Amino acid sequence: MRTRLRELILVLPLLAAAPAVAVNTYFMDKMPIGHMTTEDIDIMLAAVNSALDSLPDGAATHWSNSKTGAKGDLTLRATYQEGGQRCRDMQVENSAGGFSNRTVVSMCKQPDGAWKLMQ
């Protein structure tokens, strides 16, 4: 009986997570990022990092992959300090696989020089 209870305790969290995984997979399928290749993502991230490091607030830049048609526009909205870190708000508009999305993200520069997406 104890073995059966232990098995149930281990399996229940996995079953509870299954609907979340299904919803997340559905969500990703309806977003541009779900249709981007590794090359698309590499090009986008290079553009994001470059924009965050060098563009002034209000400036915009474009990225695209002519091989796949994936593309996007990045617009720097604000720069501020938070917890001693340089942070920036960026509007991101991406298109891939017939899907488009626009969002604003906040990112802060880490001590190692990398930009981290803030929640």
| Cβ-contact 49, 85 below 8 angstroms | no
Q: What is the pLDDT of residue 1?
A: 45
3-class DSSP state for residue 27? helix
Structurally, what CATH architecture does the domain formed by 31-117 represent? Roll (3.10)
> Taking CA 29 as the corner, what is the angle to CA 118 and CA 105, rounded to the nearest 5 degrees?
20
| Cβ-contact 72, 95 below 8 angstroms | yes
* Alpha-carbon 41 to chain mean position: 10
3-class DSSP state for residue 118? coil
Token reading at 31:
């977003």
Q: Is the pLDDT of residue 70 over 80?
A: yes
Q: What is the pLDDT of residue 58?
A: 98
pTM of the predicted structure, to 2 decimals: 0.75
User: Residue ranges per domain, the chain?
Assistant: 31-117
Count CB atoms within 10 A of the CB of residue 85: 15
Question: For a pLDDT cut of 70, what percent of the chain falls above it?
Answer: 76
Q: What is the pLDDT of residue 5?
A: 37
